Chains A and B, each alone.
Chain A
Amino acid sequence: MNASDSAELVARAQASDREAFDRLVDGTYTMAYATAYRLIGDVDAAADATQDAYVRAYASLHTFRGSSSFSTWLYRIVVNVSLDLLRRRPRAPEPLTVAHEDDEEREIEVVDPSADPQAETERRERRAAVLRALQRVSDDHRSVLVLFDLNGLTYEEIADVLRVPLGTVKSRLNRARLALREAIREEAELFGPA
């Protein structure tokens, strides 16, 4: 869905065209869920947050003025709902399980039969460690890592989503990456080097 399609759909949705809003949902819900899941680290809670975000988006669509793109606006809602959910609900000590990662691998990866099995095992362990480390950093740090490094938003878009100045986004991203490095070192102490 490109920007002009999105703008047209938003305009129609604001005029109470439900089908138009459904198309906006179709084009964004996998992204919205992925964001919520990476922020929360729990399949069910991420699905709840995604559903909640769309309900809020739909109920407050009339407040959307088009100063940012629809997806940026939606990101803001998803991030807010997800972080709000995390604040209200204490996180489990080990929120990400290996099973979830296996699910993801089934989703997009094609296993190369010629790959070195040991290298493959190390790669999977490293990935699991990175995901655990991601859940160990603060919500602010995780938000900016998820938006920049996982979702590919620009600094400007992130500033818009998080409602912070551009300079804050850049410095926060730097601190977040350093915090992630610390977290993965702690992971290595707990689980061995990844």
Chain B
Amino acid sequence: MNCKAVLDKLTLVAEGELPAQEMLVLRAHLAECATCGATYREVTRLVEDLRALPRPRPPADLRLRIGVALDAVEEAEAAEKARRPSPWETVGPYLAAAAVIAIAFALVTVVSRPRSGGQVARAPSSLARPADRGSITTVEAPGIGNASPGMAGSQSPDERAEAAVREANQRIRDLQAKAAMKGGDQQALWPDDMAPGRAPGEAASGRTGEPPGTRSGTFSVTPGAGGGPTIAVPSVPTQIDVYFRPPEDPVVGATVQGVVEVSAREGLPRVVVTATGDEGLKIDKPGGMLYSGPLPAGETLRVPVPMVASEAGLHEIEINVQSDAPGGTAQLKAFVPNFRGEPAPRAQPSPADTPVNLVFKNAPVRQALMDIAGQAGLRLEMAEGLGAERITQDVRGVPARAALRTVAEEGGYQVEEVGGVFRITRAAPTDNH
């Protein structure tokens, strides 16, 4: 028997899957041939090593993510069933414009300005839904993403699944933002005194003398514009202007404020504005959440963007404005130039940022919250008689603050952080957007 024939059967030898006679012949060769014998021993050792590897632990939020994604699929399927095909949904933009019911095509455009290179607008496609009357559905930059230009009803199962995944990811971001919002200072979101010399309602375009780094984007949703995925919703032409002003004379290590200005010709019941900085630029708001609420027609929403840089020089920031329509989101990338100074010393981590390692199965909310606070050394305040509801949550590896919020929300409570004390109260009814 030659060596190649033996090597071809090493696994069968190792797994004991050969007839006894053949096994004897092969084992004899392995004992006599130093090369094949060494290979056999190395391979069997490797197999032992592989089988001894520990099973990787899933991220703490994975089960939640799967659940949210499945919710999105369910809703998409329900919408699909409820959808009543209309001849108007298949006509072209010109007929649509003349129709009583407008068929809205989504279009995102970005307006470039002098010195404003590098900006990017991107908006993922969304699932088609039954009419969200009066709301806009901002959605797709032409040529970006893989949604087909056909009607949602003609999507393949794979396309629907992909759309559902995108929708789910958006919802997860919403949930995270919502959780972060509860810890934020909502009063500070309307910085009337922050406006750098601009009257409310002034048009965002055509201004001059902008400081370096200023960026703007205009995101339009226009009936009959064509090009993007089609969304069968009655809608009016709507345009969202997004404008970013970087902070003046920013210094490393200090909290400095830029401003995002958002306006729309048509009022929107809800927009969510978030920001993320690059590695050396931290947005000083939980989860980068800057604003969540209505955008009145013709008014300019000015939202401060508190940020702290750890390195001097140019930084990048991404502003995300999401309309109330599912998946209707647009991003503006901008630069924050000229941070000066030395790198900031590392901040001491707060106990509330300490990850906890707890799993609750049908546990009373009060007990779960106390366990989290106990493990991280936090002070908790909760009125007598509250917290009997039972919850099931896996918060292994989750920072204590986020774990408290997750568990509290699940039980119908909210968390306020006041002077280092985490106060638990019953959650106010929300619109569950």
**Partner-contacting stretch, out of B40-48, B84-92, B326-334:** B40-48
Within 8 A of B (CB), among A140-194: 145, 149-150, 170-171, 173-174, 177-178, 180-181, 184
The verdict on A170 contacting B12 (CB below 8 Å), with A55-B70, A55-B168, A59-B157 known, is: yes
* A49–B168 CA distance with the chains assembled, in angstroms: 13
Is the CB–CB distance between A29 and B58 below 8 Å? Answer: yes
Chain B residues with CB below 8 A from A181, complex form: 39, 42-43, 46
**Residue contact A174 to B55, C-beta cutoff 8 Å:** no
Q: With a 10 A CB-CB cut-off, give which of A37, A150, A177 has the most chain B CB atoms.
A: A177
Q: Which residues of A contact B51 (CB under 8 A)?
A: 149-150
- Bitwise, A95-131 to B at CB < 8 A (1) or not (0) is 0000010011101110000000000000000110011
B70 touches A100 (CB 8 A): no
Q: Which of B20-28, B158-166, B212-220, B340-348 contacts A (4 or more CB under 8 A)?
A: B158-166
Interface string of A29-56 (1 = CB under 8 A from B): 1100110011000010011001110111
With a cutoff of 8 Å between Cβ atoms, the chain B residues found around residue A59 in the complex are 73, 77, 157, 160-161, 164
Q: Say if the beta carbon of B119 comes within 8 Å of chain A.
A: no
- B134 contacts A by Cβ under 8 Å: no
A-B contact list, 25 entries, CB within 8 Å: A18-B70, A25-B63, A29-B62, A29-B66, A33-B58, A43-B56, A51-B69, A52-B161, A54-B66, A58-B70, A59-B157, A60-B161, A103-B57, A104-B56, A107-B55, A107-B57, A108-B54, A108-B55, A127-B53, A130-B50, A149-B47, A170-B11, A178-B43, A181-B46, A184-B46
Question: Which one of B2-10, B105-113, B377-385 contacts A?
Answer: B2-10
Contacts of B70 in A (CB 8 A): 18, 21-22, 25, 54-55, 58
User: Could you say which residues of chain B place their CB within 8 Å of the CB of A177?
Assistant: 10-11, 43, 46-47
Which residue of chain A has its CB nearest to the CB of B76? Answer: A59
What count of chain B residues pass the 8 Å CB interface test?
Answer: 40
**CB neighbours of B57 from chain A (8 A):** 30, 103-104, 107
Do A50 and B55 touch across chains, with their CB atoms under 8 A apart?
no
Question: Which among B55, B67, B72, B74 is the interface contact of A104 at CB below 8 angstroms?
Answer: B55
A26 at the B interface (CB under 8 A): yes
CA distance A107 to B55 in the complex (A): 8
Contacts of B77 in A (CB 8 A): 59
| A21 partner residues in chain B, CB cutoff 8 A | 70
Count chain A CB atoms within 10 A of each CB in B10, B58, B77, B168 and give the residue with the most. B58
What is the CA–CA distance of A38 and B62 in the complex, to the nearest angstrom?
16
Report the minimal beta-carbon distance from A140 to chain B, rounded to whole angstroms. Answer: 15
Would you call B11 and A150 a contact (CB within 8 A)?
no
Distance A51 CA – B74 CA, assembled complex (angstroms): 15
CA A33 to CA B72, docked complex, whole Å: 20
Binding site for B on A (CB under 8 A): 18, 21-22, 25-26, 29-30, 33-34, 37-38, 43, 46-47, 50-52, 54-56, 58-60, 100, 103-105, 107-109, 126-127, 130-131, 134, 145, 149-150, 170-171, 173-174, 177-178, 180-181, 184
A52 touches B165 (CB 8 A): yes
B178 at the A/B interface (Cβ < 8 Å)? no
In the complex, the answer to whether A30 meets B54 with C-beta atoms within 8 Å is no
Cβ B73 vs Cβ A173 within 8 A: no
Q: Which residues of A contact B10 (CB under 8 A)?
A: 174, 177-178
Q: Is the beta-carbon distance between B73 and A130 smaller than 8 angstroms?
A: no
* Residue of chain A at shortest CB distance from B47: A149
Of A43, A50, A127, which one neighbours B49 at CB under 8 angstroms?
A127
Q: Give complex CA distance A103, B168 in Å.
A: 27
User: Is B12's CB under 8 angstroms from A29's CB?
Assistant: no
User: Does A56 lie within 8 Å of B50, measured CB to CB?
Assistant: no
Residues of A within 8 A of B49 (CB): 126-127, 130
Q: Is B211 on the interface with A (CB-CB < 8 A)? A: no
What's the minimum C-beta distance from A78 to chain B, rounded to whole angstroms?
12
B65 within 8 A of A: yes
Task: For B48, give the chain A residue with the smallest CB separation.
Answer: A149
CA distance A127 to B56 in the complex (A): 13
User: Is A180 touching B65 in the complex (CB atoms < 8 A)?
Assistant: no
Evaluate contact between B62 and A33: CB separation under 8 angstroms: yes
Residue of B nearest to A134 (CB): B50
- Given the complex of chains A and B, what is the CA–CA distance between A38 and B53 in angstroms? 10
B59 within 8 A of A: yes
Q: Is the CB of B11 within 8 A of A107?
A: no
Nearest CB of B to A89, in Å:
15
In the complex, the answer to whether B56 meets A26 with C-beta atoms within 8 Å is no
Complex Cα distance, B43 from A184, in Å, reads: 10
Q: Chain B's nearest CB lies how many Å from the CB of A189?
A: 15
Q: Which residues of B contact A52 (CB under 8 A)?
A: 161, 165
Measured CA separation A126–B53 after assembly (Å): 11
Whether the Cβ atoms of A55 and B56 lie closer than 8 Å is no
**Nearest A residue to B58, CB-CB:** A33
Contact check, A47 vs B8: say whether CB atoms are below 8 A apart: no
Residues from chain B with Cβ under 8 Å of A108 in the complex: 54-55
* Among A55, A149, A150, residue most surrounded by chain B Cβ atoms (within 10 Å): A55
Residue of B nearest to A60 (CB): B157
Measured CB to CB, the closest approach of chain B to A125, in angstroms, equals 12
